[in-house]
A and B are shown apart, each in its own frame.
Chain A
Amino acid sequence: GDSVTQMEGPVTLSEEAFLTINCTYTATGYPSLFWYVQYPGEGLQLLLKATKADDKGSNKGFEATYRKETTSFHLEKGSVQVSDSAVYFCALSQPGYSSASKIIFGSGTRLSIRP
């Protein structure tokens, strides 16, 4: 079945450092790919998404490019801030007009940014 694998955490960086969180997926067809973020004590928020190959999703300085040839969707940010400390989840969902549109999540990567 479909699955998502992301790098294990925790990842600890200094403020203004460059961030990469790796994510690869296994899926049939052409899924949509997502990054969700979960701040302490809160629910998940959609950070960015890409729906087809070579699409780049971006939001709040974060970017990820849908690479079908490597089945990857790595999350990057050029200069992280303390406020970016959170757990980041890579996820996918399958296309189509099905009413069953569940999201399959990776296990999450905890990011901690030092001032």
Chain B
Amino acid sequence: EAEVAQSPRYKITEKSQAVAFWCDPISGHATLYWYRQILGQGPELLVQFQDESVVDDSQLPKDRFSAERLKGVDSTLKIQPAELGDSAMYLCASSLRTGVMRLEQFFGPGTRLTVL
């Protein structure tokens, strides 16, 4: 069964360092999402891509976070510099092309970030 792949699964870094997370969606899924899940809370959307274009980044802290999906397939989320409050699980999800009603989002296993 096709799955969303994410790496690394765990990342420990010191504050002010740069970190990057990678996501490979299910093949053929045009829509890709990055969520942040703080411990004890539900996931919150950071950014949504349709192919290579950003369609929603209203909750992305753009002073330190960036996301790209250059070829419309895999994606990278970067934080520079990392802050203590960035410690969280970063989840990637994908779905078939939207525009034909909402479609199920499939989630990857996540990257757990700890900032010391």
**How many of B's residues come within 8 Å of A, CB to CB?**
28
Give residues 43-66 of B contacting A (CB, 8 Å). Answer: 43-45, 48, 50, 55-56
Judged by a CB distance under 8 angstroms, whether B99 is at the interface is: yes
Within 8 Å of chain B (Cβ to Cβ): is A91? Answer: yes
Q: State the Cβ distance, B53 to closest chain A Cβ, in Å.
A: 9
- Is A102 an interface residue when CB atoms closer than 8 A count as contact? yes
Q: B109 on the interface (CB 8 Å rule)?
A: yes
Return chain A residues, CB-CB under 8 Å to B42: 4, 89, 91, 105-108
Are A44 and B102 within 8 A (Cβ)? no
Would you call B56 and A93 a contact (CB within 8 A)? Answer: no
For B95, the chain A residues whose CB sits under 8 A away are 101
- Residues of chain B within 8 A (CB-CB) of A45 are 107
Interface string of A85-96 (1 = CB under 8 A from B): 000010101111
Contact residues of A: prevailing secondary structure: loop
Most chain B CB within a 10 A radius of its CB, from A4, A98, A101, A107: A101
Interface check A42, CB cutoff 8 A: yes
Give complex CA distance A3, B4 in Å.
Answer: 27
Give A54 to B40 CA distance when docked, in angstroms: 30
Say whether B99 contacts A100, CB under 8 Å.
Answer: no
Which B residue's beta carbon lies closest to that of A49? B104
Q: Tell me if A99 counts as interface (CB < 8 A to partner B).
A: yes
Q: Interface range on chain A: under 10, 10 to 19, 20 to 34, or 35 or more?
A: 20 to 34
CB distance from B13 to the nearest CB of A (A): 20
Find A95's partner among B33, B40, B102 (CB 8 Å cutoff). B102
Choose among B50, B55, B56, B104 the residue that contacts A46 (Cβ–Cβ < 8 A).
B104
Chain B residue nearest in CB terms to A32: B102
Is B98 in the interface zone, CB < 8 Å from A? Answer: yes
B56 contacts A43, C-beta separation under 8 Å: no
8 intermolecular pairs with C-beta atoms under 8 Å apart: A43-B93, A43-B109, A45-B107, A95-B101, A101-B95, A105-B44, A106-B42, A107-B42
Interface residues in chain B, defined as those with a beta carbon under 8 Å from any beta carbon in chain A: 4, 31, 33, 40-45, 48, 50, 55-56, 91, 93, 95, 98-105, 107-110
